[in-house]
Amino acid sequence: MIRIKICGLRRLEDIAIANRCHPNYAGFIVDFPKSFRSVEPAALHTLTDRLDPAIPAVGVFVDEDPAVIEQLVRTNTIQMVQLHGHETPAMIRTVQSFGAPVIKAFVIRSEADLQPAIDSPADAILLDAGQGSGRTFDWSLLKQMDRPFILAGGLNPDNLSEAIQTLRPAAVDISSGAETNQIKDEQKIKQCIALCRKEQL
Ligand SMILES: O=C(O)c1ccccc1NCC(=O)[C@H](O)[C@H](O)COP(=O)(O)O
């Protein structure tokens, strides 16, 4: 079954959309002011408390202080962690010890970027073009990929079926392609979810 994560939720309206559309995971960019999608750690619970408990909340962090992540995990504000910076295997293991599964994101620019992903101690790996960039990367680099992966980077209703059929990812992660004018778009989210569920028939 191909799973789908909609990332970059930041408004109460986005939570209402997620509760109606039911992606497999809901992602939140935490404490990263360079992104317009960033949510303050102290405010995150006001969003995740309202999320349908059947949808795990994934906190996405960039080189974050582990104590911040630990607090959000231990208070059950988030149920999964995504590390989207330069986190080492040791940092991944530290975060795993907090009790939530860890997804490690890797930016794929060349075949050499695959081995660290394959070797990662993370519970799951995510292959991306950047950080919520809305860009795809060269999918042909994944021909030799022999570990299940979450595909991210520039996915949208127009290229999602092709991506799934070509690469058979375990899951897909979509942010920009599920927005219009930087606001989450319910129709696009519905389309993406329907395409994923159709591809797995
Ligand atoms: O979305 C962001 O602004 C962001 C900022 C910093 C780190 C990660 C970020 N996004 C992570 C994601 O999980 C996105 O869904 C993934 O990069 C794909 O994004 P897009 O290409 O926009 O679909």
Is ipTM strictly over 0.90? yes
Query: What is the per-residue pLDDT for 200?
Result: 67
pLDDT digits (tens, 9 = 90+) for 136-150: 999 999 988 999 999
Least confident range from 17-21, 48-52, 131-135: namely 131-135
Active site residue 128: yes
What is the spatial distance between Cα 128 and Cα 119, in angstroms, rounded to a whole number? 17
Q: Give the closest residue (by CA) to ligand 1 atom 1.
A: 132
- Averaged pLDDT, 112-119: 97
- What pLDDT is recorded for position 1? 84
Where b means 16+ CB within 10 Å and e means fewer, 153-164 reads bbbbbeebeebb
- The percent of residues in the chain predicted with pLDDT above 90, rounded, is 96
CA distance 153 to 199: 19
Query: With 90 as the cut, is the pLDDT of residue 177 above it?
Result: yes
Is-contact 90 80, C-beta < 8 A? no
Nearest atom in ligand 1 to the alpha carbon of residue 153 is 21
From 3, 6, 7, mutation site for ligand 1 pocket: most ligand atoms within 8 A of C-beta: 7
| 64-113 pLDDT, tens digit each | 999 999 999 999 999 999 999 999 999 999 999 999 999 999 999 999 99
Residue 52 clears pLDDT 80, i.e. is over it: yes
- Block residue for tokens 């394959």: 118
Q: In this structure, which amino acid lies at residue 173?
A: D
Band the pLDDT of 5: cuts 50, 70, 90.
very high
> First-to-last CA distance in the chain?
9
Whether residue 124 is predicted with pLDDT greater than 90 in this model: the reply is: yes
Question: CA-CA distance, 17 to 140, in Å (whole number)?
Answer: 34
**Does the pLDDT value for residue 201 go beyond 90?**
no
Q: Which residue segments constitute the domains of the chain, with CATH numbers given?
A: 3-199 (3.20.20.70)
Mutate to test the pocket of ligand 1, among 29, 69, 136 (most ligand atoms within 8 A of CB): 29
Given 14, 128, 192, 196, the catalytic residue:
128
Percent of the chain at pLDDT exceeding 70: 99
Q: What is the pLDDT of residue 73?
A: 98
Q: Span 9-33, mean pLDDT?
A: 98
Q: Is 81 in the pocket of ligand 1 (CB under 6 A)?
A: no
Quote the mean pLDDT of the chain. 97
- CA atoms of 65 and 100, how far apart (whole Å): 16
Query: Tell me, what DSSP letter sits at residue 96?
Result: H
CA–centroid distance, 128 to ligand 1, in Å, is 8
Active site residue 21: no
